[in-house]
Amino acid sequence: MRTSKKLALGLALAFPLSAMAAGIPVKMYKNPDCGCCDRWAQYIEANGFTVQKINTNDLASIKAKYHIPTNLAGCHTALIGGYVVEGLVPAKYIKRMLSEHLAVQGLSLPGMPVGAPGMPGKKAHPLDVYTLGSGNAPKVFASF
């Protein structure tokens, strides 16, 4: 009887901890051969997210589906909390977008800039993260 009480208590305590340990879900569409996408996924998971990677050789159709302008396209497209995150956006800006419930479609860090999360090397200049919006001109959300 004593062992069963300990087991029940252990399970009761473990359940809330495991639920809290589950990260913010991310659905990430990426090229199967993109190493920077894999590194960004590792980085984002280390910052409290849980990534489901979906390999595709047709990222153009994903970007079209989510209305990503060519000039704001990154190496992958991720869906997080009802938002689109395009490219190697740092975790702190994604968390800020989620916590502030921004009235935007999402965020973008265009291209594959060196020094962004997932792209090794030293930045040559500050990098701009832009807002994505339905018909709205992109605005700089943050620079790092």
Question: Domain spans of the chain?
Answer: 2-143
* Residues facing residue 112 across a β-bridge: none
Distance between CA atoms of 112 and 134, rounded to whole angstroms? Answer: 23
CB-CB contact of 67 with 81 (8 Å): no
Using one digit for the tens of pLDDT, what is the confidence trace for 107-141?
999 999 999 999 999 999 999 999 998 667 889 99
Length of the chain: 144
Bridge partners (DSSP) of residue 42 are none
- Tens of pLDDT, residue by residue over 37-71, are 999 999 999 999 999 999 999 999 999 999 999 99
The answer to pTM > 0.85 is no
Which alpha helices (H) appear in 1-113, and where do they start and end? 2-21, 35-45, 59-65, 91-100
